[in-house]
Amino acid sequence: MANVLASASDPFEGREIAGGKYRIEKYRESDELGRTYLARHLKLDRLVIARVLHGSHLSDELLVNRFNRAGLAASRVRHPNVVDVVDLGEESDGTLYLISEYIDGQSLAELVALEGPMPARRVVDVIKQIAAALQSAHRLGVIHRDLQPDIVHLLTRESDDGELADVVKVLDFGVAKMDVPLGLDRSTGHRTIEMVSGRPEYMSPEQCNGQTLDARSDLYACGCLAYFLATGQPPFSGGALLEILMKQVKEQPAPPSKHVPRIPASLEAIILKLLAKKPEGRFQSARELRDALGRLQLMWGPAESEAAGIDVDISLGGETVEIRNPTAGAEANDEFATPPVVRVPRRQRQRQTVIMERPQTQDGKGAAIRMMAYAVLLAIALGVFAGLYFGEVYVP
Q: What H or E segment, with its residue span, contains residue 87?
A: strand 85-90
pLDDT at 68: 86
pLDDT at 291: 96
- C-alpha span between 218 and 148 (Å, rounded): 10
Which residues carry out catalysis? Answer: 146
pLDDT > 80? residue 9: no
Sorting pLDDT into bands at 50, 70 and 90, what band is 52? very high
Entry pTM: 0.71
pLDDT > 90? residue 66: no
Single out the residue of 2, 24, 1 nearest to residue 13, CA to CA.
24
- C-alpha span between 236 and 354 (Å, rounded): 33
- Look up the CATH architecture of domain 16-101: 2-Layer Sandwich (3.30)
Domain ranges of the chain: 16-101, 106-307, 362-396
CA angle in degrees (0–180, nearest 5) for 375-381-383:
105
Single out the residue of 125, 143, 126, 135 nearest to residue 286, CA to CA.
135
pLDDT > 50? residue 102: yes
Q: Are 224 and 235 in contact (CB under 8 A)?
A: yes
Report, as an integer, the average pLDDT of 66-70. Answer: 82
CA 393 to chain centre: 71
DSSP string, 137-193: HHHTT-------TTTEEEEEEE-TTS-EEEEEEE--TTTS--SPSTT--TTT----G
Question: Three-state SS for 232?
Answer: coil
Sorting pLDDT into bands at 50, 70 and 90, what band is 184? very low
pLDDT at 228: 98
Of the chain, the percentage scoring pLDDT greater than 90 comes to 49
Reported as a single tens digit per residue, the pLDDT across 202-232 is: 999 999 998 889 999 999 999 999 999 999 9
Report, as an integer, the average pLDDT of 191-211. Answer: 74
CATH code for the domain defined by 106-307: 1.10.510.10
